[in-house]
Structure 1
Amino acid sequence: MTPRSHIPFFPPDLFEADRTVLLDLLLELGLAPEQRFVLGEHTRRFERLLQESLGAADVVACGSGTSALDLALSAVDVGPGDEVVVPAFGCAPLAASVVHLGATPVFADVDPYTMVADPAEVERRITGRTKAVMPAHVFSVMADMPRFTDLARRHGVRLIEDSAVAQGAVLDGTPAGLWGEAGVFSFVQVKSFGMPGEGGVVVTRDAGIGQRVRMLRNHGQDGSRRFLHHVIGRNSRFDEIQAAFQTHRFSGLPRRLARRAAVAEYYTERFAPLAERGVRPPPAGKDGRCYYVYTVLADRRQALERHLRERGIDCHAYYPLPLPLQPAFAAFAAPGDRWPHAESAGRRALSLPVHPQLTDADVEYIADAVCAFAGD
């Protein structure tokens, strides 16, 4: 196998094909007489486009995916004295968004194979103080939302869906983001519908939640009258240039998602025989799949990472330390408590390039490299 010079984990030329469009929009909006740079007509069009494509009651654009989590939790009145059960394995905003509201994150272990929140472990952590549960879709697999929907109903708790990485994924006919009372998407450049900057949305089937999020994102104003503040809000407004750019790029999203899925399907087929040799791919199939990144579980992760990098293949180890073992969140973990599956995922998970700019030759080369490692 001849080494390649470099296959990037995320492509540096992600927006190259739309360079002229982006520059034209920058000039058009930057020189427009109204000088409206946030929450204008382009944002409204972008929100309607997503709302119609999802069949949602509302889609509310905001400053980032992290901010979207904070707004969604605020909209269902999570606050001081409340507990929110979150996965122990995942990104920091899962817990930080809870802490920022004065509530307490309670960490539940994850499924040892899919690495998403385990409904049984989440249920075990529910107490009389639990206000909400917030499962997260991770890497290639959506969480078991039918079980979480049932769990939330039986326990009378709110269900917020961290679907930041799962835009375009569908489980049992329902799009990611619409299983809970509110879900979120992130548009940071590395996501499946990434853009050249920060941004996110809250999506919901509940028009009332959407209306509350709209006020919260803009200093508590509802848009009917400026400087009339109905609630204490914050500044999480969406950029007009980004809204126009994302509206332009939206028609190409299905094609890009399909390419990601095809790459992932090829990897999974090639890697299926490797499970008994210490490299386990995600589950096969298409339902409930999202390929923001493609992640294997490797018993010798550091050695596999070194093997790939020596062959010019970028890879990435996400979340090596579970959230409750991070210094920032250690105060919320009970002494002696453990999350063995989250800890195992932190040691074994390795993500491979799956972006749509990969050529068929790139994909085959990456798969060959992983198979060669497992065959050593």
Structure 2
Amino acid sequence: MRSEIPFFPPDLFEHDRKVMLDVIRDIGRDSRQNFILGEHTREFEEMLRADLGAADVIACGSGTAALGLVLRAMDVGPGDEVVVPAFGCAPLASSVLGVGATPVFADVDPRTMVLDPESARGRVTHRTKAVLPAHMFSVMADMPRFTELAASHDLRLLEDSAVAQGAVLHGTPAGMWGEAGVYSFVQVKSFGMPGEGGAVVTRNPALGKRVRMLRNHGQQERFVHRVIGTNSRFDEIQAAFQRYRYAGFPARLARRAEIAERYTERFAPLADRGVLAPPPGRDGRCHYVYCLQAEERDVLREYLAEHGIGSHVYYPLALPHQAAFLPCAPVGERWPNAERASARILALPMYPHLTDGEVDRIADAVCEFARHRRGPQPA
């Protein structure tokens, strides 16, 4: 009987089951009874900080929380605008609204689906306080151009690198291009864990100090509250578990890159059959998920399901068309590349323990589908 290849595998942490159980026992029985922001969290932050060459790394409750903490630390608030991609996850807009500012949607590049620097430049006004590019799926945003854009307009630059931990562009790690970046550790991310968590990374020690205070109710000393903060503290069990797993992170990243390259090699000839692969290469590539753009996306998804292959549709509506963000979308404005991406995007399985045989089976199915389809239809 043919086995299923799930999109979200249930066994991501199976090999580390004993480690997790030992960590729970050891921390649970420790006389200090410290379950948040303890020694394991401090060592986890220091491990990431040293590896990145950052001034500070602040572990917090989630990648979404990390965005909000940085925006607050940057004093982004009412009356300010933040340029964000029109295609992506809801926190790109909701985190801006959460600090009282206004998200201004710019279009994305039609091939890579990341924020287009020129579209972003065209949305800058006298009210713009920050620009928030996001790395998407397999490709980092064009950070050299966003760095120039921020400098030329005196803007704060916050890098949504939640999906891109481990990616490097021109020698600089994702998260280290802007004043601050964020990571997410939710299970399907490149350095995911069995729970929720995130981190802020920054080259600016003063910004890091403020984020550190904001994540813990505005405290620097216990019960002394300098500002109004929030509760976005990190779990000691997860910190210890992630410290253990970090040694295997490069190998898992390398395997993800191998799978992506194999897919791209197989799918490159399908562009004239309505299936577009991400651009090839490793520089500036993050391998969180592998996303195709398919003219007949929903038909392809059904075809893969019939062949026992899971897939996933990310962001089936552009952000300006989501009910939650309609008040921020100018009437009559269009974001054609974002709208096209939301209608075409389909993510394939890409986790490190996929076998070569499973990768080939997935690729074979996509290629077989494309061979029996018509060429791309007019937009």
TM-score normalised by the chain length of structure 2: 0.97
Helix, strand or coil: the match of 1:370?
A: helix
2:251 & 2:118 partners in 1: Cα distance?
36
In the alignment, structure 1 residue 259 sits paired with structure 2 residue 244: no
Residue 5 of structure 1 and its aligned partner are, at CA, apart by: 2.6
Gaps of 5+ in 2: 373-379
1:296 & 1:59 partners in 2: Cα distance?
33
In the alignment, structure 1 residue 276 sits paired with structure 2 residue 272: yes
- Name 1:304's counterpart in structure 2: 300
Map residues 178-327 of structure 1 onto 2, 5 A cutoff: 178-222=176-220, 225-327=221-323
Runs of 4+ in 1 over 6 A off after TM superposition: none
TM-score normalised by the chain length of structure 1: 0.98
Helix, strand or coil: the match of 2:219?
A: coil
For 2:109, which of 108, 111, 117 is the aligned residue? Answer: 111
Map residues 129-144 of structure 1 onto 2, 5 A cutoff: 129-144=127-142
- Name 1:163's counterpart in structure 2: 161
Are the equivalent residues in 2 in contact too, given 1:11–1:357 (CA < 8 A)?
no
The number of residue pairs the alignment matches comes to: 372
Are the equivalent residues in 2 in contact too, given 1:219–1:234 (CA < 8 A)?
yes
- Name 1:355's counterpart in structure 2: 351
Q: Structure 1, residues 98-121: CA drift from partner, whole Å, max 9, x if none?
A: 001000000001001100000000
Helix, strand or coil: the match of 1:84?
A: strand
Q: Structure 1, residues 110-158: CA drift from partner, whole Å, max 9, x if none?
A: 0011000000000100100000000000000000000000000000010
Helix, strand or coil: the match of 1:28?
A: helix
- Name 1:79's counterpart in structure 2: 77
Are the equivalent residues in 2 in contact too, given 1:25–1:241 (CA < 8 A)?
yes
Helix, strand or coil: the match of 2:83?
A: strand
Q: Structure 1, residues 44-93: CA drift from partner, whole Å, max 9, x if none?
A: 00000001111111100000010000011111110111000100000000
2:366 & 2:56 partners in 1: Cα distance?
43
User: RMSD value over aligned CA atoms?
Assistant: 0.7
Identity %: 68
Which amino acid in 1 is paired with 2:334?
A: R
Map residues 13-92 of structure 1 onto 2, 5 A cutoff: 13-92=11-90
